[in-house]
């Protein structure tokens, strides 16, 4: 990795994460945050952690449906450990986990690296569509609230002009992409074409309905993981499903901003929950509890996976 890429992919997210941690802790005193951790109902926190493990287990199983048509039959244990190892490695270098995940299958299941990466890209397409579905559901459930929120902040004329501007910009962009011969634009079109091809390939696979089931299951567990954990704090016990969905959506985007969402995750939750007039301290504390719990699970299972992978496969090959 050259120096500019290293700075962009590693140093900047890390510095942003540190800055956001400092900012977050400047908004709530550490004794107050510790008290929230002490008073939290850990039954709900443990249930949320279990739902998270179920979602990642389903992701590992879904991956098998992508690899088997290529002529390989990886063990579920290797897929499971590869998924958790990838999550752990993403805390060091964002998105490096995907490369590590493909490498693990190459080393222990002899799946060619490029084909492994291709299956992961196809998975990401399905996950992107599911996130868009979650956003659509959230907008549908709280359309009136969101509409009133924006009309209070901006007048109706401004919103209409903004909407028209976006439509015009989209049309101009599409026409430009179709006619342009610029090398960068051609690469972008090739990338988008690959995404569409990857999406269509899902419907051509032998076990497509099982793949689709696992995709919905994964994201249902993600959302439930976030929602049930809010019950751990009495101050958030009355939270609506729509508010939880908005919080989940912003928190999901925050993970891409810094290494594993450090610093950005709690603040994304605060931004979402304040829209619904939820208490700021409780929202920030929830963000830290949610992030800490899932991070701890990833560190434990991911760390054990990295240690046990060579041991498991050494034993398996001897049998």
| DSSP string covering 84-129 | HHHHHHTTTSTTHHHHHHHHHHHHHH---HHHHHHHHHHHHHHHHH
State mean pLDDT over 222-248: 90
Asked whether residue 143 carries a pLDDT value surpassing 70, the answer given is no
State mean pLDDT over 74-87: 92
DSSP state of 180: -
Q: How far apart are CA 116 and CA 127, in angstroms?
A: 17
Q: How far apart are CA 298 and CA 306, in angstroms?
A: 11
CA atoms within 13 A on the CB side of 235: 14
Q: How confident is the model at residue 34 (pLDDT cuts 50, 70, 90)?
A: very high
CA atoms within 13 A on the CB side of 200: 6
Q: How confident is the model at residue 91 (pLDDT cuts 50, 70, 90)?
A: confident
The pLDDT assigned to 198 comes to 54
Copy the structure tokens of residue 73.
Answer: 């039959």
State mean pLDDT over 275-296: 93
Q: Is the dihedral of CA 162, 164, 167, 168 positive or negative?
A: negative
The pLDDT assigned to 53 comes to 96
Of 49, 72, 53, 13, nearest to 260 by C-alpha is: 13
The pLDDT assigned to 46 comes to 96
* CB atoms near residue 172 (< 10 Å): 10
State mean pLDDT over 231-240: 88
DSSP state of 258: S
Of 247, 307, 298, nearest to 84 by C-alpha is: 298
Of 10, 5, 6, nearest to 258 by C-alpha is: 10
pTM for the full model?
0.81
Of 163, 150, 142, 133, nearest to 249 by C-alpha is: 133
Q: How confident is the model at residue 196 (pLDDT cuts 50, 70, 90)?
A: low
CA atoms within 13 A on the CB side of 63: 30
């Amino acid at each position: 990795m050259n120096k500019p890429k290293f700075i962009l992919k590693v140093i900047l997210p890390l510095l942003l994460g540190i800055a956001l941690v400092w900012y977050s802790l400047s908004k709530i005193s550490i004794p107050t945050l510790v008290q929230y951790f002490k008073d939290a109902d850990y039954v709900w926190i443990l249930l949320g952690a279990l739902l998270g493990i179920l979602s990642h287990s389903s992701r590992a199983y879904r991956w098998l449906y992508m690899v088997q048509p290529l002529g390989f039959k990886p063990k579920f244990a290797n897929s499971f450990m590869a998924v958790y190892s990838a999550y752990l490695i993403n805390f060091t270098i964002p998105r490096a986990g995907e490369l590590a995940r493909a490498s693990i299958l190459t080393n222990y299941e002899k799946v060619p690296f490029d084909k492994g990466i291709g299956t992961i890209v196809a998975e990401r397409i399905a996950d992107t569509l599911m996130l868009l579905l979650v956003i659509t559901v959230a907008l549908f459930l709280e359309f009136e609230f969101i509409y009133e929120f924006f009309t209070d902040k901006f007048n109706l004329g401004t919103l209409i002009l903004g909407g028209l501007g976006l439509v015009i910009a989209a049309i101009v962009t599409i026409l430009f992409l179709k006619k342009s011969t610029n090398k960068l634009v051609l690469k972008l079109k090739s990338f988008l074409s690959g995404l569409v091809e990857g999406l269509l390939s899902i419907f051509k696979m032998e076990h497509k309905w099982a793949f689709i089931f696992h995709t919905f299951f994964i994201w249902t567990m993600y959302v439930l993981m976030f929602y049930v954990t809010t019950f751990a704090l009495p101050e958030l016990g009355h939270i609506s499903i729509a508010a939880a969905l908005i919080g989940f959506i912003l928190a999901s985007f925050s993970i891409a901003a810094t290494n594993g969402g450090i610093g950005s995750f709690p603040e994304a939750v605060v931004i979402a929950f304040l829209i619904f007039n939820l208490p700021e301290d409780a929202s920030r504390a929830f963000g830290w509890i949610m992030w800490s719990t899932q991070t701890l699970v990833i560190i434990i299972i991911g760390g054990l996976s990295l240690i046990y992978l060579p041991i498991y496969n050494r034993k398996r090959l001897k049998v």
